[in-house]
Structure 1
C-alpha cells in the first residue's frame, strides 16, 4: 500500500526531482543537479520556456493526436530522447543499460555518453532501440578513431560530436563537496549516509565504479580515470577537425552544442546531418544563452537543411510542444530522466517519458494540434519581445 501511494504521488517530472533528492547522497545529487558558477544558464534553460505561451485555436480540439516523427531515418513514437549523461550508473546499478531499456520501450532514441560507467558495447547489447553515441575529439585521434570503429561495430545509428567541452566547466557544488565517486563511507558523510541509506544498499552489489569505455587506457579508480579523460580532451579543435571526422564516419553525424546561427550554417556547410542546440545543461559556460532562447535563430539559419534538436531545461510536455513549435524536430532530456532513474531505475525513466507524452497528448488535444507536424511558430507567442509579436502578426 505504501509503495502504491508513493507511485501515485509521482505525477510530474518535478515530483521525481524531489523524490531523487530524498534518495541520493548530497554529493551525487549535486553532481546531477548542479551547473557552472552561479548556475544562471542552468536556471534560464528551464525558465526560458515560461516566457513562451501557447496559442490554442477555438473549435479545433483533436480527439486523437499523433506524437510520432522520424529523426535521421529512425521513426520514434515520442519526440523526446534521453540525452547523454556521464556516469549515470552512479544513480542505479547498470543505470545506462536501464535507461536504454526504458528508452527503447517508449519507442525513442537513447543518446549514449562516452563517459558511461558501462561500455558502449554493453549498453548497445542491453536493448534493441536506436542509439547514438556522444563523441569528443581527443588529442589522440587514434582514440577518437577507435571509438568510431567500436560504435559502428556495436550498431550505433549516429555519432554526436559535443563542441562545448574543450575543458570541463567550473562546477562549484562539486568543488565544495570534494566530489568523488567512491562508495566508501567517510566520517564526514555518515549523517548523509544515514539519511539516504537506500542508495548505499542498492549500490553495494554493483560492480566497481569504472568508466568502461576507457579501460586499458586509464588505470586506477574512477576519479583517476575521470582525470585522464579531462587530460585528453582537445581544447584546440577547429572546423577542419570536423571535416576529418566526417571522413572517418559514414553514418549520420550530429553536432551537439550549437548556440550561434553562424556556427549552425558552418556545421551544415561541413556536411553534418543534424544539429543539437545545447549548452551542456548549463554545466559548462555560465551566462551563455539558454537553449530555448537560442533555438529560433539556429532554426532560421539552418533553413530546413538538417533537423535541429534541443536539450536543456525540458521539464514538461508543454516545453516539448513549445520547442517543436519553434522548429525543433525533437528534444532530449538529461536531468529529467536521471531523476526517474534515481528513484526507480528502468521503471522510473519510463515513467518520466510517459509523463511527458501524456502531458503533450493532453495539451495537443486541447489546443487543436493533431500531430507534431501541426506545430508552427505561430502556435506560441513571447509577450516580452515586440519583434516576436510583429512576426506573429505577419504569420
Structure 2
C-alpha cells in the first residue's frame, strides 16, 4: 500500500465508520453476543474442553514484542505477496468456516462478496451453507480456495475436488485435524448442532456422487450420511496420493503443529501447510499455532507456502506471524463477528480495519514490504 494522506484517511474513518460499527475485534464480539442466540454464538466463539488452547492462541502473541526500526523511509510500502504464481493484495485470507448462516442469513455469500471486493482470498468450507458453485458465482474471478473435509467414501472427496477445480478454485485445503470431533462443552450445554439442523449440507446435496449413496435425497438422510463419513480416523499420508489423482491444483494440509509432520508433508509432495489447531476447537491443551510456527518454518525453509491461523486478531499479530516464518495468515472468528453484526458490510469493515492496522504496524516496525519482516524485529518476552 502506498502512503497517501493517512491523516485524512484516518479522519474519514473515524467520522464515518466508528460511530456506526465497531473497530476492535473485542467490540465486534460483544455486539455479536447481543444479536446471536446462545447456540450459534457459543458455536462460533467457543473451543473444546476447558478452552485452554483457545486462550493460549491469543496469549502466545503477547509473548512476542515488535522492536521498531527507525529512520528507514517507509513512504512507499507494499503489502502484496505472490502465492502459486498469483499476486495477492495482502497476506490475509478468510479461513474456511462452515455453516455461516448461523451468524447471518446470507452466510458465505456475504463473506465471499466482501473478500472479493477487498482483494482477500476466500477459503470455502466443505460444510458451507451455500454450495461451492454458488460461492464461486458471487466471487467472479476473485481468488479462492476450497477446503476439503475428507470423506470415508473417497469418491465423494474426489467429486468435490473436481467440482472445485471446475468452478475456478485455485487450491485444495485438506483439513487433517478432524479425524474425531472436538469435545465442545458449550455445544453440549446448549444442545446445539448446526450440522444436525442441516446448515452445512449445500455441497453434499449438490454432489452427484454423494446423492447417489442416499435411498432418498432428503436433508434428514443427508445429515446421517455426512455424520457417517465426515469423521475419518483412518486418514493417513497415503491418502494424499489419491487426492493428487483427482486434481491438478495445489494441495495444502491444514492442521499441522509438529515439525515431523511438516517433514512428512514435504515427503508426500504437499504443496503448502497451514499451521492450525482449528482455533482451539479440536484438541484442548494443544500447542498454540504461533508457538508451533518457528520449528515448522525451519523444516519448510521456504520450499512451500506456510500459512497460519488461530488467534490472529490485529495488524501487529500479522506482523509477528510473518516475522516468525508464515507467508500468510487466515482469520476466522473476527470476520464471523462482523458477519453476525452487519452482514457483508461487517465483514468488509473487519477486513478494512485489519488491513489498515497491518499497514500501520508494518510501517512503524520500519518495514516497507513483507520481505522486511523477520525475526530481527521481534523480542521474546
TM-score (normalizing by structure 1): 0.86
Number of aligned residue pairs: give it: 357
| Aligned counterpart, 1:276 | 274
1:136 corresponds, among 137, 149, 167, to 149
Root-mean-square deviation over aligned CA pairs = 2.1
- The residue aligned with 2:41 is 29
Give 1:228's aligned residue.
Answer: 225
Distance 1:49 1:182, change over 3 A: closer
Match of 2:191 in 1: 178
1:388 corresponds in structure 2 to none
Q: CA, structure 1 residues 334+221, in 2 after alignment: closer, same or farther (shift >3 Å)?
A: same
Structure 1 residue 229, shift from structure 2 partner: 2.2
- Aligned residue for 1:255, secondary structure, equals strand
Q: Distance in 1 between matches of 2:303 and 2:277?
A: 22
Match among 72, 92, 96 for residue 60 of structure 1: 72
Distance of aligned partners of 1:59 and 1:50 in 2 relative to their CA distance in 1, 3 Å threshold: same
Contact 1:278 1:291 in 2 (8 A): yes
Deviations 1:106-165 (A, max 9, x none): 112101100001011101111121111111221111111111111111111100001100
Give the gaps of 5 or more residues in structure 2.
1-14, 206-210
- Match for residue 11 of structure 1? 23
1:322 corresponds to: 320
Once residues 297 and 262 of structure 2 are traced to their aligned partners in structure 1, the CA distance between those partners, rounded to angstroms, is 8
Task: Check conservation: 1:53, 1:382, Cα contact below 8 A.
Answer: yes
Q: Deviations over 1:18-37 (max 9, x none)?
A: 11111111111000001110
The 1:310–1:5 alpha-carbon spacing in structure 2 relative to 1, beyond 3 Å, is closer
Kindly provide the CA deviation profile for residues 301-343 of structure 1, in whole angstroms up to 9, marking residues without a partner as x: 1111001000001110110010000110110001011001111
Report Cα offsets for 1:271-315 as digits up to 9, x if no partner: 111100001111010011110010000100111100100000111
> What is aligned with 1:238?
236
> Offset at 1:180?
3.9
Instruction: Give the alignment partner of residue 351 of structure 1, picking from 349, 355, 361.
Output: 349
1:211-258, Cα deviation, whole Å (9 max, x unpaired): 111113565557x74553232032101111112212222111111010
* TM value normalised by structure 2: 0.89
Show structure 1 runs of 5+ residues with no match.
Answer: 185-207, 384-395
Matched, 1:211 2:205: no
Q: Secondary structure at the match of 1:42?
A: helix
Structure 1 counterpart SS, 2:126: coil
The SS at the match of 1:248 is coil
- Any conservation in 2 of the 1:169–1:283 contact (CA below 8 Å)? yes
Residue in structure 1 matched with residue 127 of structure 2 by the alignment:
115
Q: 2:300 — aligned with what?
A: 302
Does residue 1:79 correspond to 2:91, yes or no?
yes
Question: What's the offset of the Cα at 1:5?
Answer: 7.8
> Residue 163 of structure 2: which of 146, 150, 166 is its match?
150
Aligned partner of residue 239 in structure 1, secondary structure: coil
Q: Which residue of 2 aligns with 1:95?
A: 107
- 3-state DSSP of counterpart to 2:238: helix
Q: For residues 95 and 155 of structure 2, what CA distance do their matches in structure 1 show?
A: 26
